[in-house]
Amino acid sequence: MFPLGVSLNLHNWDPYLFFRIWLAALAVVAPATSAATQGRDIVIQVSVFRVEIERILRSDNLDTLTGRPREVADIMARIPKGRAPADFWQSYQRHVDAWQRFAEAIESGADQDELIAEERKLNSTFDDVERIARRYGARMPQPHIAARVP
């Protein structure tokens, strides 16, 4: 006799019922296991994304005050994507494009208003890069700026 008056009669044992109970138990246990595995995969993936974003940002951390815009744009364009997330990389590529347009504006002798507009695009696109980087938990490097003596 089992608790609560349930008895086990092996003479009338139904393998089909046993199989259904076994499947129901598996359905309860299996999702928990896969959810735990999926959670670990997500943590590892986010960690890889964070590391890749920080690598790109370190490579991008150039002295933009003393470097020529064309040199800055060319260096940035050569930074490899690696395993960075697609949304970050797309935003970063928009920022690289903004640098290239800024360099072209300077080289073509654009007027002050055009240069200011291109510089605003630089700032705007970098704000997007920074926002996405922070969403992945990436730390922003300290800006590399040459000290200017008045």
Domain ranges of the chain: 12-135
Taking only the tens place, the pLDDT of each residue in 40-78 is: 555 556 689 999 999 999 999 888 777 799 999 999 999
Supply 114's token pair. Answer: 């055009």
Mean pLDDT of 1-15: 54
Taking only the tens place, the pLDDT of each residue in 113-147 is: 999 999 999 999 999 999 999 999 999 998 866 54
Q: Enumerate the H helices of 61-111 as residue ranges.
A: 69-77, 86-107
Q: Tell how far CA 81 is from the center of its chain.
A: 11
Mention every residue, 6+ apart, whose C-beta is less than 8 A from residue 115. 102, 105, 106
For tokens 């008895």, name the residue. 7
State how far the Cα of 92 lies from the Cα of 74, in Å rounded to an integer.
Answer: 14
Asked if 122 and 102 touch (Cβ cutoff 8 Å), the reply is yes
